Structure 1
Amino acid sequence: MSTPEEEPGARRVLCPYCLDKIRYDEKQLFVRNDENKFVPLGLEKEGTNKLRRDDAVREAFHKCGNSAKMHDHYLPAPYFTNGEPLTVALVGSSRAGKTHLLASMIGEVERGALDVHGLKATPLHTESHRSYLDQRVLKLRAGEMLAHTEQTDFAEFADGLLVGGGGTARPRPVVFFDLSGEDLERTGRVTRFLAAVDAFLFVVDPLRALPLPYLDAVRERTKQRTDDLGDRSFGTVLDRVPRDGRPYVDKAAAVVVGKSDLIRFEPAVARWLTAPESARPTARALREESRDVYAFLRHHGGPAWLKPFSDCARCTLHFASATGGQEDAGGFPQGVRPRRVLSPLLSIFAMCGLLPGADSQEVGL
């Protein structure tokens, strides 16, 4: 992890796209013009005025050296000028609810829900973050059903934040990848970034995982069916991550039973889905929730749905609902009421040393 005194350019930062390690270089700074094309920033025109230079860099992009011969790609400059980046990938089938879960997470962060946990979050890149809010968060909060993530030939992160504890240390860039389930099941270059991801959020779809009779009507309406073989994207992703000869994946992981509002009357689910998120999660509380989720999934869904827990050295399990209710006629006419969507993210932060007061060595074991 970088020290507070370390200057930009003193270390190499891993590009999450091509896996090159690149050093910050002011000559590689670009901005988007009116035609949305990247053009050189030309930082020299700001002279030696530190305020103007810093402001220009905050909204600039850094071009990657790209030795992998991919098409040109760029990262927000603050990705290089702050603390050690943390990359988080959401994993699950196309109908698991990953996009809604991430939008609800970012929405909770935007309204200041991290403050009570001793964390502050600001956009990694203001314009990109505003676009994500407009296209995802605000639409969901207005009751719109979000479209599934489309397949792509190049995996870009959906949104990025700068997250810190408010002390003297530089905040850390946190970026979120939300790929389609079809892409996650591929093994080509589009999923190469998985080899360098720091943390995973595995999203379980209860409609596929849980053969509970009272879910049959929803399955029939949405044309889904149960599958005791689990989510294929889980296995594909876990097999793609290097283990360096060890039996387990040495990455932070959280398993989230999404759409838990569908099973909210189950005692184990009700206990956690109604619990407030205002209290800072302790290793003990996370173990208790993980125990309940594990037992519930193991009993009703089977071991295949617990593959991330079996394969990852450190993993927590959670119940959460991105919307608080079912969609109706392509939307949420009663509005959305996220439930426990921050808990998986806080668990990831704790395991990665980003949550103040948490013992990063105890969480997820």
Structure 2
Amino acid sequence: MEWVKSGRRGRWLTAGAASAVLLGLAGCGGGDDWKEPKQGQALVLLSTDGDAAYNGFGDTPLGLAVGRDNQVYGMFVDLVTVGKDHKLKTLRHHINGLYGLVALPDGSLVAGSGGQIVRLNANGQQSAVLAGAEGTGRKEGQPAPSSVPAKGYHFADKQPIPFAVRADDSVLITDEDVIWSLKGGTLTRLYQIPAASSQGRIRVAPSQLAGGTHTVYLALQQTLGSIRAIGPDGTSRPIALPRSIAGVTGDPSALHVAWITGDGADGLYVNAFGKSKSYVLHLAGGKAEVIVEGADDKSDKPDPACKPGHLVEAKKLPCPMPYALAYSASSGSLVMAGSAPYVLRIPVK
């Protein structure tokens, strides 16, 4: 089977991919032989070879989340899930304007849809509107209110996107230049990006935001050294970053940031890359640790070890490094997907 990669962080394609190949998930190194990864290992959870898997996790996913019991959700063309049986299930074909994906403790999901924030049930169907109303919203750059009833508010962005849920069940949302917290039917403004920080329209992607217990992290300039921590009082400051990180070549502050996500407390995980290597770093309390390391892949063929059900070394990753990153505090694991032919699950606690 021939693999072709388009660009450094581009899409992986297969020649002659057939959907019958896709779900060798219960076989192909899997089935009853699947073993749970330990810290320091990554489980190749899924190959995205085949239409169904690619439609859920291909290119840069519009949503990626880990729910209870390591249930993994991906959203690209379709909304899909991979459960304990390691089999892929399509919950919703053609997501039709859904953006962002957050898994709640009760097993439901939250997504952005048509200017609103909506709840999806376990089958991926909309069950409630949590925030947002139809109509003309806040104009670009206009100051947002400090708090407002959620269901009557007109978001500035036609695509408000949830990006995290905190331990108190509040959902964090990005709405162009504003970061909101949604809880108990109320939207509370956590931060509004100053207009002076950008030369044009500000629209923050969920890949640039991570939620902590008391902190929100913003990677507006997309380098490690430019990530800012936003406190409960709405003030922002540069994150504390060591001058060197064991296992990282060169100045860590110059690494390019692909994706960030919270660690369930007040730290964050960062998917970052330099000239020759890619890393997943854990940053907390001014310290940094390499969780995953992979060399830039220059081959058109993946390593034969990267098959569903196989365990590989996280710090000597033979598989192409996926792009998007999600963390589940309940399972203590990271999931990586997008712009690579695999979905990986990595325990970190």
The answer to which structure has the higher helix fraction is: 1
TM-score where L is the length of structure 1? 0.27
Please report the TM-score for the alignment, with normalisation by the length of structure 2: 0.28
Give the greater-gyration-radius structure (CA).
1
Query: Which has the larger strand fraction?
Result: 2
